[in-house]
Amino acid sequence: MKAFTDLYWQLDATTSTSEKVAALRDYFASAPAADAAAALAVLAGGRHLRSVSTSQLREWAADVTGYPAWLVEECYAHVGDLAETLALVLPTPEAAADAATDPGLAELMRTTIHDLRGADEARTREMVMEVWRRLAPRERIVWHKLLTGGLRVGVSRTLVARALAEVAGIDQAEMAHRLMGDLPADAAAFADLLVPEATAADSRRPYPFFLASALDRTAVEQVTEDLGDAAAWQAEWKWDGMRAQIVRRGTDTTVWSRGEELVNNAFPEIVAAGSTLPPGTVLDGELLAVCDRHLLPFAMLSKRASRKHVTKKILAEVPCVFVAYDLLEEGSVDLRAMPLAERRRRLEQLVPTPFTDLLAGTAAADAGCLFLSPLVAGGSWTDLAANRAESRARGVEGLMLKRLASGYSVGRTRGDWWKWKVEPLEIDAVLLYAQAGHGRRAGLHSDYTLGLWDDGKLVTVAKAYSGLTDAEIVELDRIVRATTLEKHGPVRICRPTVVLQLAFEGVSLSTRHKSGLAVRFPRIVRWRKDKAPADAGTLADLRRMIAADG
């Protein structure tokens, strides 16, 4: 655990890419394979569920220290980081672990995290107390973050791949490919990751996804200035779905989400469609939910994607299709270095039916659920801007712009792929609740819950955490404290006095929200100091946007 703790603090202490890669390389080269596998799962963005609740940790820390619970809470509010707060208030360990007794990361994660899930509270408390007695404060901080599923390290999967490639002596792109999908679960799997030869697992893996950057200029003249001649670009609709790859190699077909999860069980009809492709084929595209020639809200697709098993009822209610927009592999040959124009030509031969034919009702009856992402016509940026203006009516988020000469890169490489999204929907909402932030915003109320009017009452509609300047957050924090009606831990219920302009990508009906509505990707645009709470929007205003949202 000490070695991983040292790595964590090294990564936390620098912004230098070369220093981070060096620290990662040194750790992976020297750590036991089992510990390296466990560290990789943490560093490469694997999903980590908490095995102990934060409220339990605060309660047990109060018992150990003899401090009243309210004092632990106040310390947490002041420090802003629970892992650090607990490490600071707990007594000095009885006997710090030495090299012989220091638990390895893999062992610690197995015995105190994985094995604790589902355990009764008495056993969990006993184990937590034992670890507190063994670890030094700086190690406790890291362990607390692992325990609660809240460990965040300032490294990307690209940097991890670069470090591992140096350790293994192979190309970075090949290592990035190997890191797709299931990460090594044990020492043997980690050793396989570093072998120079291809392994059996390589055939199932997707390619690292190429991600588009946001085009923050919206005026046609500015886009022209940035991107040059429109003839050098390919335009497609930006579908509001779930990015995925179909991998057909040998007799095996897999469907992978952009989150690098195998989703075969959630989308069996897409697996079946992929199985009709020639072996050695990889398609990049979008999973979309479509019923009766209409795109279904993303929330319905997301609900289905989270299932490990889909029933006939779900398949009927949320039928899905795969809309392909790139061909990454053909005949077992990697095409990613090939210009997009040629990849597109080959894709059109492989998947000839445009998705718009399905929406128009002109697709052949046996077209199945595999379609081609249609190109958006436009001989100039003015023409493309006019098409972009129709996005909401079509149920899409805007346009994708891709340079025809571009290869298929890895990650968010700027310059060749851009998303030219429509302007967000907006509404003025009233601040109802505020919660203290963490990290550099510790002690300031920077997380806000906003509401809209409905029959003379304010009803919560969204939470927002970004959009205000540091100076505005400080000013708003003073107002929150001065207008507090009730306190519930770090949350304050405020007298409605502040109006904030809320932006979001879409709105849909929801049975999970009190308002009956859900907004997508909410964020604050600005503080409307010129408006009183009575001037804020209503739920009726939000409902009317559902039609406008497509």
Which of 49, 38, 421, 44 has its CA nearest to residue 259?
Answer: 44
Q: How many CB atoms neighbour CB 73 within 10 A?
A: 16
- Output the CA torsion 168→170→172→173 (10° steps): -130
The answer to whether residue 238 is catalytic is yes
Per CATH, the number for 425-548 is 2.40.50.140
In the chain, the N- to C-terminal Cα span, in Å, equals 52
Per CATH, the number for 213-421 is 3.30.470.30
DSSP string across 365-382: TT-TTEEEPPBPP-SSHH
Token pair for 138? 């700086």
**Catalytic, out of 2, 20, 145, 238:** 238
DSSP structural state of residue 440: G
Determine the pLDDT at residue 501: 93
Which of 84, 58, 57 has its CA nearest to residue 71?
Answer: 58
In the chain, what are the domain boundaries?
2-147, 213-421, 425-548
pTM of the full structure: 0.64
Number of alpha carbons in the 13 Å side-chain half-sphere of residue 242: 29
Q: Which residues of the chain, if any, have pLDDT below 70?
A: 45-49, 94-101, 173, 181-182, 198-202, 216-222, 438-442, 547-550
Q: Round to whole Å and give the CA distance between 54 and 96.
A: 24
Cα-based distances in Å from 403 to 111, 116, 226, 249, 378: 50, 50, 13, 28, 14
Contact, 23 vs 58, CB < 8 A? no
Determine the pLDDT at residue 92: 83
Contact, 75 vs 58, CB < 8 A? no
The second-level CATH assignment, the architecture, of 2-147 is Orthogonal Bundle (1.10)
Determine the pLDDT at residue 97: 56
**Size (the chain), residues:** 550
